[in-house]
Structure 1
Amino acid sequence: MSDALPRSAVAGGSAPPRPNAVVAVLALAGIVVSLMQTLVIPIVPELPKYLDASASNAAWAVTATLLAAAVATPVAGRLGDMFGKRRVLLISLMLLVAGSLVCALSEALVPMIVGRALQGLAAAVVPIGISIMRDELPPERLAGSTALMSASLGVGGALGLPSAAFIADHFDWHVLFWTSAALGVGALALVLTNVPESKTRTGGRFDLLGSLGLSVALVSLLLAISKGADWGWTSGPTLGLLATAALVLLVWGVYELRTTQPLVDLRTTARRQVLFTNLASVAFGFSMFAMSLVLPQLLQLPEQTGYGLGRSMLTVGLVMAPQGLVMMAMAPLSAAISKTRGPKITLMLGAVIVAAGYALNIVLMSEIWHLVLVSCVIGAGVGFAYGAMPALIMGAVPPSETAAANSLNTLMRSIGTSIASAVAGVVLAQMTTSFGSAALPSENGFKVVMAIGAGAAVLAFLLAAFLPGRRATPAGHSPVEQARPAETAVKA
């Protein structure tokens, strides 16, 4: 029996999918999901009017997505390892489509929050896509393909902002979500017809108690971080949520170490290569998002402030869009450096470039081309780093834990972005200047945030320096070699 038969039978087609098609479809799915995250940014100021709600309540349309994504990412990764990565990928895209349809039909706050939460449940598409690549691609294709898939997070976000701003300016706001639903259906169809099901599975029992414990801890932590500025950082709800997160994480960690089939294998996570990659991911998530908070405000603040550029949201999107293209262009270069020097060096190089980009931003922030240049430099650094992280993770975990390990790494980045939002919010709220009757963030406030972003990149560099120098090839065997035992079993 030929090797093609088992794979085509699993994929549901008559011939084995081509690697190029698998990579293109998975990267597209990642871009579609990351588009969803920036979809509402142009309409956030108008959401209270659209939904007949207060500004603080309307903000839950953003917060719900963050919380749902945090809960879904590690759970979906583990389910993918156990029951099939393609299956979980398809379910994630179905949730994206369902959430988009709910939002497209919404006229009130509650269904909008429900729809945005459903969209957030699709956040695991990128780490699961990377894990599918490990199982299906030949070794020589893996590094470049996973770098491209990882970069899709930034590509979708960068391209989504100008697209969403254009749609919001020229059409009814519901069109944003009809568009998201259509893109989700397209991605779903392409995955169904081009992506095979992985033969590498762990099976076993799902750790329901562990997933509930981690979900409670993550929701408590991220809710405190995202709402701390509104509630007050020393208020009862904020401190209570932080204490709950710390206590639940402690109990959860003890439980995970004692259970036979944990949601997260903490012993694997404690390996130096995994641990320091995840810590560096938090720092990088912080550093990348700091720019996303500073540049739009600089572009939109009135010119009369002396440092604002008085531009529209559409211009903001167009200024940020080249960053995504640069990230995509860096994927093959990141893979080449990882292949010759190791992903540790690629990660450290990315950190240096990001820190240089922020330093450049401190002195170049008065013209549109300055901000385009800065966003491209930082995007190049992020592209290097995000290409190296999956290689580092997969180089330290067995194939049976690939999806769970990549999902946890993605979660670490998300935690970093949440912390960046909170820190930047505090700095810009404290460092203000009077403009008429309003208090606006001052120029020095923006420079402080940029300096903190550079510091986070330097921290990522130092953390990466503790990584062992290793090849980018995943632990154990190559993806092809890992697949052979399963294929042999099917043939038998």
Structure 2
Amino acid sequence: MTMTPALPARIGKAAVGALGLLAVSCGALESVVQPTIPLLQRELGMGPTGGALLGILLPIAGTLATPLAGRLGDRYGGKRVLVPMMIVVCVGGLMSALAPGLPVLLIGQLLQGAMVGALPLSFVIVRKYLSAGESKVAIGVVSGFFVGGGMAGTLLAGPVAEQLSRHWMFALPTFAVIAATLLVLRLVPKDPADRPDDAGFDWPGLALLSGALITFMLGLNLAPDLGPLALLGLVLLLAAFVAGWIAVERRAASPMIDLRLLARPMMWKSSVLTFLICVGTAMSIFLVTQLWSASGDGYGFAASPTEIGLFLVPGTVAATLAGPLGGGWERRSGSRAVATIGVVVMAVALIGMAAVHSAAWHLVVGKALVALANGLIVTAMTTSVATSVASTETGVATSLVLVTRVLGMATGGMLGGVLLDAGNSSESSYATGFLLAGVVTSLALLITRTMHKGAKA
């Protein structure tokens, strides 16, 4: 009789809750800069270049830290890597809170970027100690809390900075990260290492992947201001990094990312799907907030930052609930069903906002539906990937989905800005942007229709 191998241990709701609190705290700390860049520019005397650099430094650091954290977590154990990484994040948060000027703030943001790696490491832990079905729900909870924390940080950063100071908008979420890390240290058991310490590390692969990600992110942010030759140079540099990375990974004894993992249908389909819906989501976020604050001829609502924060509350609630709902739904019905319905809901909401945006509540409802659909889809893809690979691949596999999420959000935000600039922020440019976001989102149906129907896609 074949015996099913027993799990090494079990973790209870308190441990999963500690990981969820850490995700909330990290999400809040990650999101406080973007809505307050104009305020930081005024207080620190930054020009447009400094503001742009401040806005992209943390996402760049996050895209680099995420696959590194996933790889190390798979090899040495999730908790063993998570706690030191959170110490780095806390140091970065305190530096940002106490920063007297831009240079120290930039260093703090660079260190804070490690927080994105908390997600794949949390997934490594729950995947190792819970069954596949229970892991889906736990991953959904952690993912939803991270998104909810990000929304909360976006809402509260401006009021905290204005009523208290810019220092407190970094300090408060940093204190929360410290408290949550202590809870994780106490409640989460140490997961054993899966691979020997002398397995070697693919430093050339990490360097080339870093170069590719940095070039891509810089290209997105600088593209509108670059001439054709400079833009072509960036594209060629990106192609060279990618080609070099592929060549190195194919020959490495212990590659940073096994290309055979990327070639698996579940892996590349999840990544492409995540990228497309995050492009649509980021475009809608940018356009909605701009339209609320606009005061044009017959359009816009001239809303204050506080009013915009209130308008975003339903979307924050929807995004927070979407994680647990998506994890449980994916467990019962499979990733194809969740992703297909999520894509349809998001596309309909975006196209609806393109057609009808004459009242603020139209955008409130549309934004909430987009947030709900995004949370459902990203959670479904993450849980499917996490539970369809070996436990020793959980970290690196989920980190790939999370990196495509960051890249998709960055791409969508850039496209939204380009559209408004090209259309001089006219009403038609907003409608065109929503429509284009809906079309991009609808393309994801080409991926969902090829996915397996079963729960294990």
Deviation at 1:99? 1.0
Any stretches of 5+ residues in structure 1 without a counterpart?
8-15, 433-440, 474-492
SS of the residue 1:210 aligns to: helix
Match of 1:149 in 2: 142
Match of 2:21 in 1: 28
Match of 1:99 in 2: 92
1:142 counterpart letter in structure 2:
S
Task: Tell me if 1:374 matches 2:366.
Answer: yes
Alignment CA distance shift 1:233-1:80 (3 Å): farther
Task: Tell me if 1:463 matches 2:447.
Answer: yes
**RMSD of the alignment, in Å?**
2.1
Q: Is the 8 A contact 1:277 1:464 kept in 2?
A: no
Which whole-Å CA distance do the structure 2 matches of 1:264 and 1:140 have between them? 26
Match of 1:129 in 2: 122
Deviation at 1:167? 0.4
Deviation at 1:444? 1.1
Q: Deviations over 1:404-459 (max 9, x none)?
A: 11001100111111111221121111001xxxxxxxx1111111111121112111
54-63 or 327-336, larger mean C-alpha shift: 327-336
Task: Tell me if 1:120 matches 2:113.
Answer: yes
Deviation at 1:97? 1.0
Deviation at 1:151? 2.2
Task: Tell me if 1:84 matches 2:68.
Answer: no
Aligned pairs for 1:46-195 within 5 A: 46-195=39-188
Which whole-Å CA distance do the structure 2 matches of 1:324 and 1:338 have between them? 21
Q: Deviations over 1:325-361 (max 9, x none)?
A: 1123234443343233211211111111111111221
The percent identity for this pair of structures is 25
Aligned pairs for 1:380-419 within 5 A: 380-419=372-411
Which whole-Å CA distance do the structure 2 matches of 1:233 and 1:323 have between them? 38
- Pick aligned residue for 1:196 from 183, 186, 189: 189
Alignment CA distance shift 1:77-1:215 (3 Å): same
Alignment CA distance shift 1:232-1:350 (3 Å): same
Deviation at 1:398? 1.2
Q: Is the 8 A contact 2:66 2:116 kept in 1?
A: yes
- Pick aligned residue for 1:326 from 318, 328, 331: 318
Q: Is the 8 A contact 1:144 1:332 kept in 2?
A: yes
Q: Is the 8 A contact 1:100 1:115 kept in 2?
A: yes
Alignment CA distance shift 1:56-1:27 (3 Å): same
Which whole-Å CA distance do the structure 2 matches of 1:97 and 1:331 have between them? 25
Match of 2:431 in 1: 447
Task: Tell me if 1:227 matches 2:226.
Answer: no
SS of the residue 2:443 aligns to: helix
Q: Deviations over 1:123-181 (max 9, x none)?
A: 11122212221112234422222122222332112211221122022111111111122
Q: Is the 8 A contact 1:391 1:472 kept in 2?
A: no
Q: TM-score, normalised by structure 2?
A: 0.93
SS of the residue 2:444 aligns to: helix
Deviation at 1:235? 4.8
1:369 counterpart letter in structure 2:
W
Deviation at 1:401? 0.7
78-87 or 124-133, larger mean C-alpha shift: 124-133
Q: Is the 8 A contact 2:352 2:366 kept in 1?
A: yes
1:211 counterpart letter in structure 2:
L
409-418 or 127-136, larger mean C-alpha shift: 127-136
Any stretches of 5+ residues in structure 2 without a counterpart?
none
Which whole-Å CA distance do the structure 2 matches of 1:53 and 1:387 have between them? 37
Q: Is the 8 A contact 1:130 1:390 kept in 2?
A: no
Which whole-Å CA distance do the structure 2 matches of 1:196 and 1:178 have between them? 28
Task: Tell me if 1:345 matches 2:337.
Answer: yes
- Pick aligned residue for 1:257 from 229, 250, 256: 250
Which whole-Å CA distance do the structure 1 matches of 2:41 and 2:324 have between them? 43
Q: TM-score, normalised by structure 1?
A: 0.87
Match of 2:306 in 1: 314
Q: Deviations over 1:253-306 (max 9, x none)?
A: 01101112100011111011111111111112111111210111111112x532
2:451 counterpart letter in structure 1:
L
Deviation at 1:364? 3.1
Q: Is the 8 A contact 2:133 2:331 kept in 1?
A: no
Task: Tell me if 1:216 matches 2:174.
Answer: no
SS of the residue 1:264 aligns to: coil
Which whole-Å CA distance do the structure 2 matches of 1:328 and 1:390 have between them? 16
1:106 counterpart letter in structure 2:
A
Q: Is the 8 A contact 1:97 1:180 kept in 2?
A: no
Which whole-Å CA distance do the structure 2 matches of 1:101 and 1:332 have between them? 31
- How many residue pairs get matched? 451
1:232 counterpart letter in structure 2:
L
Alignment CA distance shift 1:467-1:17 (3 Å): closer
